[in-house]
Structures are given as structure tokens and as C-alpha cells.
Structure 1
């Protein structure tokens, strides 16, 4: 009986320590959400603006034969994979990797420590991605696409739906899709072809930054939800163990009283 009580006391202490840990991690995630949401909003606005500029350029007949518009039937794909720097974020990382497993004939470019652990060298931090890192990656991928190394350039990102819902998706960046927009009322200097090259690179940079910022927002939201759930489970477990502990203590005390009474000959 004494051994059972000691074991229960140890389990309660262990689960209580876990509860404190999950609470702390949940608070850290909560503190990051507002900042992450603002960063994602700003990146989304830039991504949308530069995307509209690219659409206008692609509508021009001059850019019709640009290498960025050319589709290739054969060849390998290159996909940027954005995952978290840490775990304990529910299914955030698992959903990204599950989507990647469906891809064949694909080279992966990882962003985030968990993605680098799985796919090799890349950009180690998704939380602290810099504009310089995104621009350098954009330059490298655009050059590889123009040289014919890849038939498509894509990105696996996590779309933020709400605090309780995030969705891992695959989006293709290059080649640029044909658009129905008209650019006749806009004049590009010196001409559309000269403007397209730097604009496409800026567009790819914008997509990378926007995807990373939104994915990080999804990560911290998923982590806070996971920690809240873990905290509730830990609290329920503590309550159950505490009930077992109280019953064991009561049983032990009752047994001691019974033995004392029996020993006294009363």
C-alpha cells in the first residue's frame, strides 16, 4: 500500500511538471501570435501587390515568349518546403511532410530546422528568415528555372485559416500562368520585357517571404492550441491521480486503524 501511494505521488509530481511546461509554452506561443499575424499581414499585402504587377506583365504579348511563361512536359520539379524550427505544434510539421511524400521527381529546398533535418541543407530558421535570404533563394531558383534545370518551381506552405485550423498546401510559382488581365493602359519603361526579369525575381521573393510569415503564424497558432489541449489533459490526469491517491491514503489509514484496534484487543 505504501509503495502504491509513493508511486502515485511521483506520477502526480511528474504530470504537474508537464502541466507547468505546457502552460509556459502556450504563453510563449500566445505572446508571438500578434507579432506573427502583423508580419503575415504585411507580407501578404506585398505578395498581392507584386503578384498583380506580374499578372499585368504576363498579359502583354511582348512577354508571351518569356522563359518564365514556358511550360515543359519533362524534367524534375523543385519545391520549397516550409516547416517549423521546433516541434510540439500538433500536426503542423506532420501535415507538411505528408504532402511532400506525395511528390515524385522533386528536389526539395527546406526552410526551417525541421525541414532541414528531413531534407538536408537549407535555411535553418523559418521564424527568423531575412529578406536577404529570401532574395538569394529567389535569384538561385529563377536562374535554375531559366537554365532548364527544373520544369516547375513550387512551394509547400501552411495557410492560416483560424486559430483552430491551418492547412498545408502546394502552390506552383513558375512557370507564370496566363492571365486575362489587360495591360494596355499601363506603360512599362523601358519595355515589358526589360521590366519582367527583375519583377519576377521580386515576385518569387515576395511569395517566399509571404509563405514563411503565414506558415510561422500557423505554427504558433497550432502550438498554442496543442499546448492548451495538453494542459487540459494534464489537469484531468492530475485530478484522476489525486483521487486515486486520496483513496489509497484513506484505505491505508483505515487499515492502520483496524490493525491498531485489533492489536489492542478491544
Structure 2
């Protein structure tokens, strides 16, 4: 059994760690609330863009546009595919980063002709250590997602797509299913699919007249980049929210484990103290008996 000094040192060390985990939990909780408000403030605008795109496609379902092209006639091994991978800047967030990186690696193997775009320090270090080439490192901290950063990322991706340096673009990020469950997913960012914008209207509602100037294609080419910006921004904010939520759960579990360890150490400390007191009493009694025998002699 460890002596009382060793047990006290362990208790002090765990208490110090407990203070850190509690503080990290509170910080992540505050950041999560802020991120949810950021997303809620911008969602109406981008949902309206999506609605307008649906209206245009409802009136002109056969419209040809670069953002809605099909690559079905191109063999899979010849397609140039871009992947935007959103990870965290730091760990201590459970399986959050592991799930994103695992999904990204699986899809990178499917397309040998790929381009990798990484956000987050952990993702950059992970791919660099494995010798996987990164086409572009967006040196933004994912701790502060903003519309300006999302616009810079989207503009670069759209430019490469327009120049046919990329045939398809996918984004890998984490979405929050509910308060305790997160899901890592991959979604196609470009080209867009017309079926994703099909909004079924009741039969008795007539189609409104729509005037598109200078042309439907020009209007769509103006709307789609903003829609892509909104999608990237939403993915950044949702990933950030999931990271904070995952860190909260990890810190909560760590705090619970620390409290359980402290409870066990308290019991162990009391036993060690009791054993030490018992030993001291035994030594005092043994010494008294020894002195008594000497006096009798």
C-alpha cells in the first residue's frame, strides 16, 4: 500500500487536472452557443438563395449550366476530384478528428487523380506525416469561422472548377444529429445536382411568371457562387459546433473519471492513515510493555 504522502500527491495532481477539464468544458459550452447563433443568423439568406435556384430550375428544367454539368460520360479514373477536409486545430475532442480523417482517406483511395484541400492543423499534420500531398492549405484557424474565410475558400475552388482543373468537388465535415450524436459525412459541392433542388408544389398552384435578365444562365452563374459560399460557411460553423460539443462530452467524461479516482484515493488515503495510526499505537504499547519489564527486573 502506498504511503499517505504519495496518495496526497496523486490527489493534488488529479484535482489540478479536474480544474482544467471543468474549465475546458465551460469554454467549449460558451463557444458552442456562439457558433449556433452565428449559423442561425445567416441561414435565412442562404435558404432563400436555394429557394430561388429551385424556382429557376422549376421553370427551366432543361437549362444547361457549367455548375450543373454531368460527368457520367467520363471514366472514374480520369476525373479530377477535389476534397475539402475540415478538421480541428487541436485534439481532446474524442473521436471527432479520427472520424473525419478516416473517411477522407477512404475516399482518397477511390480517386487516384485527386486534389486535397485541408482546414485545421491536425488534418494538415496527419496528411503530411503520411506523405499525402496537399494541394492547398488554407491557413485559417477553424476556431473562428467567418463568411469572409468561407468566401475565399469557395472562390478558389470555383475558379479551379471553371478552369476545368477539377471535375468534381466534395466536402468532408461533421454534422450534429442531436445533442449527443454527431455524424461525419461527405457531400458533393460541385457540380450541383438538379434533383437536389426539386421542390414539389401542390397541383392546384399555378407556376408564376419569371423574368430572368440578361439570361437564366447569367442569373444562375451569379447565384450559385453565393450558394457555394453559404454551403462552405455552414460546413465550417457546423464542424466547429461539433468539435466544441465533442470536447464538452470528452471533458465531461474526463471530469467524471477524475471524481471517481478521487473517491477511490480518499478511501485509500483513509485506510493508509488508519494503518499508520494503528502501527503507531502498536509501537507505543510495545514500548510501554518493554519499559515495564525492565523496571520489574
Question: TM-score, length-normalised on structure 1?
Answer: 0.90
Q: CA deviation at 1:262?
A: 1.0
* Separation of aligned partners in 2, 1:204 and 1:150: 15
**1:255 CA drift (Å):** 1.1
Counterpart CA distance in 1 for 2:140 and 2:86 is 10
**2:287 counterpart residue number:** 263
Q: In structure 2, what is the Cα distance between the partners aligned to 1:60 and 1:117?
A: 48
Q: Matches of 2:55 and 2:84 in 1, distance apart?
A: 25
The aligned residue for residue 172 of structure 1 is 188
Q: Does 1:115 align with 2:114?
A: no
Deviations along 1:5-25, whole A, 9 cap, x unmatched?
A: 222111111111110000011
Contact 1:47–1:210 (CA under 8 A) maintained in structure 2: no
Distance 2:58 2:123 in 1: 36
Over residues 190-220 of structure 1, what are the superposed CA-to-partner deviations in whole Å (9 max), with x where a residue is unaligned? 2111112221111110101111111111111
Q: For 1:66-215, what aligned pairs fall within 5 Å after superposition? A: 66-72=65-71, 73=74, 74-104=78-108, 105=111, 106-119=114-127, 121-179=137-195, 180-181=198-199, 185-215=209-239
Deviation at 1:85, TM superposition (A): 2.5
Q: After TM superposition, what 4+ stretches of structure 1 lie above 6 angstroms from structure 2?
A: none
Q: Name stretches of at least 5 consecutive residues in structure 2 with no aligned partner.
A: 128-133, 201-206, 293-297
Q: Report deviation, 1:101.
A: 1.6
RMSD (Å), alpha carbons? 2.2
| Residue 246 (structure 2) pairs with residue 222 (structure 1) | yes
- Which blocks of at least 5 consecutive residues in structure 1 are unaligned? none
Give the length in aligned residue pairs: 265
Residue 160 and residue 247 in structure 1: after superposition, are their counterparts in 2 closer, same or farther (change >3 A)?
same
TM-score using structure 2 length: 0.82
Q: Which shifted more, 181-190 or 77-86?
A: 181-190
Q: Cα 1:67–1:184, aligned 2, differ >3 Å: closer, same or farther?
A: farther
Q: State the Cα deviation string for residues 83-131 of structure 1 (Å, max 9, x = none).
A: 2222212222121112112112332212233233334522431221332
Does the CA-based 8 Å contact 2:81-2:167 persist in structure 1?
A: yes
